[in-house]
Amino acid sequence: MVIRMDATPSGLTVWLSGELDHHSARSLREQVDAAVVRSSATVLRLDFSGVTFMDSSGIGLIMGRYRLLQSRGGKLLVVGVSDRLLRVMKLAGLERLPVWETAPVDTKKKQGVTRK
Amino acid sequence: MKKPMNEMKVTFPSRSANEGFARAAVAAFLSQLDPAVDELADLRTAVSEAVTNCIVHAYRDEIGMITIHMKLYADGRTVIKIRDRGCGIDNVDKAMEPLFTTGGDDRSGLGFSVMESFTDRLRVSSHIGKGTVVTMEKYIAVRHRQARVV
């Protein structure tokens, strides 16, 4: 998993790309948390558009960063989530967490494509 | 019970770098059934959860071996057994409850929920001090294979 970070006065943006599992989440978590503390950012934007695989480790990553930002009086934003990733996140009810810039929409359902 | 038309077994140590290897190995073997993108992604995710459980829980303070035994049947049934010789689970029903975890703050406790949601059948058999076997079954639709032959 490769990450790219951009800290601006308006907040910290982290672009994730590759496979997000327990193995990659560990160092990712450390890097992101260190950057949040270093930049004293109040908004953390996690961009998942480059993530090709995610298991429940991604849920833990989001929940943990949500709590971290909350404890610092800040806000976590989650963007660029594909249908596939959303399916995993929904198992934890993450679509109800106030972290979305726009409400997560399942595009396949919207188009009326039958899914199993 | 019918014989599988093909099977494979792969054993590797419980290092977290092997989570990606386990997914790739299962995906590569499954490719002969020409699975749909969603079917493949479902199995990759379920396998990732099972192997992560072995690493995080079964072999919490040690490195042990994990074995994946995968069987493909003519009707599209795919059976994947993931076995460890680790500490075992004290209470399987409790461990399978959504959100229950002993893995710490950044584990969601949803591993078994993901396996259950993304496969057609999940069985867990565990003995304290002897290890755990997770058996998952998923039907891969035969339509893809017929389409390819025609």
pLDDT tens sequence across B15-45: 999 999 999 999 999 999 999 999 999 999 9
Q: Could B108 and A53 be called an inter-chain contact, meaning their C-beta atoms sit closer than 8 Å?
A: no
| CA distance from start to end of chain B | 29
What is the predicted pLDDT for the residue at B113?
A: 92
pLDDT at A110 over 80: no
What is the predicted pLDDT for the residue at B145?
A: 58
Helix (H), strand (E), coil (C) string for A18-32: EEECHHHHHHHHHHH
pLDDT at B146 over 60: no
Pairing type for strands A2-8 and B65-72 reads unpaired
Pairing type for strands B6-13 and B77-84 reads unpaired
- CATH for B51: 3.30.565.10
Taking alpha carbons only, the member of A7, A6, A30, A2 closest to residue A17 is A2
- Which runs of consecutive H residues, i.e. helices, occur in chain A? 22-39, 56-71, 83-90, 107-110
Confirm whether B141 is domain-assigned.
yes
B11-70 residues touching A, CB cutoff 8 A: 16-17, 19-20, 23, 38, 41, 44-45, 48-49, 52, 55-56
Q: Could A53 and B48 be called an inter-chain contact, meaning their C-beta atoms sit closer than 8 Å?
A: yes
pLDDT at A5 over 70: yes
| Residue given tokens 């995080």 in the structure block | B56
Q: Where are the domains of chain A?
A: 2-110
**Residue A105's pLDDT band (boundaries 50, 70, 90)?**
low
What is the predicted pLDDT for the residue at B99?
A: 77
- Give me the domain span that covers residue B57: 6-149
b/e code B106-118 from CB counts within 10 Å (16+ = b) = bbbbbbbbbbbbb
Which class does domain A2-110 fall in? alpha beta
Chain B contact set for A59 (CB, 8 A): 108, 110
Q: Looking at the complex, does the CB of residue B102 fall below 8 Å from at least one CB of chain A?
A: no
Confirm whether B131 is domain-assigned.
yes
Confirm whether B1 is domain-assigned.
no
Its ipTM equals 0.89
Confirm whether B112 is domain-assigned.
yes
Mean pLDDT across chain A, nearest whole number?
Answer: 89
Residue percentage of chain B with pLDDT more than 70: 93
What is the predicted pLDDT for the residue at A108?
A: 60
The residue-averaged pLDDT of B46-50 equals 97
Q: Is B107 a catalytic residue?
A: yes
Give how many domains chain B has, as a whole number: 1
Are B45 and B118 a contacting pair, CB within 8 Å? yes
What is the predicted pLDDT for the residue at B20?
A: 98
Q: Which pLDDT tens digit goes with each residue over A12-42?
A: 999 999 999 999 999 999 999 999 999 888 9
What is the predicted pLDDT for the residue at A116?
A: 44
Taking alpha carbons only, the member of B132, B137, B114 closest to residue B55 is B132
Q: Report the chain A residue with the minimal C-alpha distance to residue B110.
A: A56
Q: Is B53 a catalytic residue?
A: yes
Q: How far apart are CA A38 and CA B39, in angstroms?
A: 42
Chain B contact set for A29 (CB, 8 A): 106
Q: Is residue A43 classed exposed, middle or buried when 0-12, 13-18 and 19+ CB atoms within 10 A define those classes?
A: middle
Marked catalytic residue, from B107, B116, B137, B145 = B107
Residue A108 makes CB contacts below 8 A (sequence gap 6+) with: A83, A115
**Residue A109's pLDDT band (boundaries 50, 70, 90)?**
low
pLDDT at A106 over 70: no
Chain A contact set for B20 (CB, 8 A): 19, 21, 23
Marked catalytic residue, from B23, B39, B44, B53 = B53
Q: Is residue A111 classed exposed, middle or buried when 0-12, 13-18 and 19+ CB atoms within 10 A define those classes?
A: exposed
What is the predicted pLDDT for the residue at B107?
A: 77
In degrees, to the nearest 5, what angle opens at C-alpha A91 toward C-alphas B84 and A43? Answer: 110
A34/chain B closest Cα distance in angstroms: 16
What is the predicted pLDDT for the residue at B51?
A: 98
Q: Looking at the complex, does the CB of residue A88 fall below 8 Å from at least one CB of chain B?
A: yes
Chain A contact set for B45 (CB, 8 A): 53-55, 88
Q: Which pLDDT tens digit goes with each residue over B59-89?
A: 999 999 999 999 999 999 999 999 999 999 9
